Amino acid sequence: MPSIIAEVRANRAAILCLLGLAASAACAAAPPHTLAKPDLGPNVFIFDPAMPPNAMQAQIDKIYAQQQHSEFGAGRYALLFLPGEYHLDVPVGFYTQVLGLGATPDSVHITGNVHADASLPRNNATCTFWRAAEGFSVTPTGGTMQWAVSQAVPFRRMHVHGNLVLHQQHGWASGGWMSDTLVDGNVDSGTQQQWISRNSDWASWTGANWNMVFVGIPHPPAGEWPQPPYTKVAQTPIVREKPFLEVDAKGNWSVRLPALRTNSVGITWRSGSTPGRSIALSHFYIARPDRDTASSINAQLARGKDLLLTPGIYDLAEPIRISRANTVVMGLGFATLHPTHGTAAITTADADGIEIAGILLDAGEQRSPVLLEVGPQGSNASHAKNPITLHDVFFRIGGAGVGRAQVNLRINSHDTIVDHTWIWRADHGSGVGWTSNTSDNGLVVNADRVTIYGLFVEHHQQFQVLWNGNYGRTYFYQSEIPYDPPDQPSYTSAPGTNGWASYKVADSVTHHEAWGLGVYSVFRHPNVVLSRAIEVPRTPGVHFHHMMTIALDDKGEISNVINDQGGPTSIHPRTTPRVADYP
């Protein structure tokens, strides 16, 4: 027992030294092997239970004061909590990621508040984007945690000791995502327009609006689509959880790579650590935006390193090229890749097991043919046993400035899994206009057997999604078609067809399936309509389940939900056309 106590004291002493909270003489005496604290740059803050709570709270408040309303600002932050107990109030602002560093969410416990609040007046959370809570447990003051969010807000590997509300006092919200999460009490989605929960559990769920999808949930809410609009899929067919940082009892830093699961239900950590393997953080090249270029990053990848992108904006004169199988690329604090010379931001080889997680790709002023390309065109290898996976990979065209791309995400490698993405052509912000922030397609899938959970794609100028590969599957789809077509001739895909369908399955496809789809219109100019929200070949192998459309403004309409079925949206009276199954 004395030796264990001594080791614990030594570890704590080393942590205090590395955080600059102990005297230099004590630091000199601390064992050097106990903690190799990585240099994660100036925008990563590592908190330890031994730190004074007032000092931690002051730093958290300082970051939030900067990020609370910084929707298109340059600040990027990650708040990392070493295992232990904390008593704090943690508001989570734009481009802020809050992470627990334990093997399970219960290794890091925050008593108090961790909350996302509406960023617009009147409790409106429809622009509460780009923030994350991952890998820790919360005992909320008053028994309820508020997470009033919309798109691009990961909520992963969380344990809420109490209730969770996904809105702020019933103001509008347009989320959202939950996975590998346990809520001991009730989840109230309230005014959330749509939501996907994957491999999570709770005591109860209340609330429904337009499109609520539950995949691999052991206790889904009662009721059947369309009233309430619950789409329930009993098992998650194939998925990996997102890689995460972990610090063990000896202070060793690593990245945990969760194992591939098939036909799964519920959380990964019910019996302890998430199954998988770990890679020492020393195997990662730790990139920083103030010193790294695409060239320096590519040189490290070519040496066989994995890549950790610390928070900030990376201006890229060429793509980051991932050529080695099983390469891991992780971003912290919404690390943002910004191509400056009209190139892609990332390209990958057609190789097994590549994982890309936690990045924002922000188009540059020079038009990129594609922002992220998975596998070169013509890829034909099978990756069924070790798929390429994308987790929390987000895209933006305009908003922070003029941005242009032809395609945002193009998938050419078979068996790829996408686990939460928002592919957004900005409808507000800087550099926004029909001829300014131009983008043809959000997603183009050329590969077979691609599976996507949580597909959010909005406002692109042609097909939001164009699916050319066979045996594709989508679990949850949310899309607003573009607000700003100036007239019908500018928004016509073929003779006799108004607009471009939001979700297009190519005529050559023989097998495709999708569950829980919502497509919305907000036309700003009169006399512009969309013939159909979803356009697919009528063939026995193509199946769609639980689809709806709605017009959110008083102009135009969506004339049909899928092909020639569903009928038109209208405002007076408001109608929300629905189609249960197609064909």
Active site residues: 480
> Strands, DSSP E only, in 222-260?
230-233, 236-239, 244-247, 253-258
Report yes or no: 505 and 542 within 8 Å, Cβ to Cβ: yes
In angstroms, the CA 508 to CA 200 distance is: 36
DSSP per-residue string spanning 563-575: TTBS---BTTTTB
- Give me the helices (H) in 235-342, please: 294-302
Phi, psi of 450 (to 5 degrees): -90, 130
Report yes or no: 448 and 488 within 8 Å, Cβ to Cβ: no
Residue 179 in tokens: 């996975």
Please name the residues in contact with 161: beta carbons below 8 A apart, sequence gap of 6 or more.
137, 138, 139, 140, 184
DSSP per-residue string spanning 368-418: EEEEEEES-TT-----TTS--EEEEEEEEESBBS---EEEEEEE-STT-EE
Residue 286 in tokens: 């730790």
Please name the residues in contact with 121: beta carbons below 8 A apart, sequence gap of 6 or more.
none
Q: Are strands 236-239 and 261-264 parallel, antiparallel or unpaired?
A: antiparallel
In angstroms, the CA 21 to CA 294 distance is: 36
Instruction: Look up residue 565 and give its amino acid.
Output: Q
In angstroms, the CA 410 to CA 168 distance is: 36
Strand partners, 390: 356, 418
* Cis status, amide bond into 258, omega within 30 of 0: no
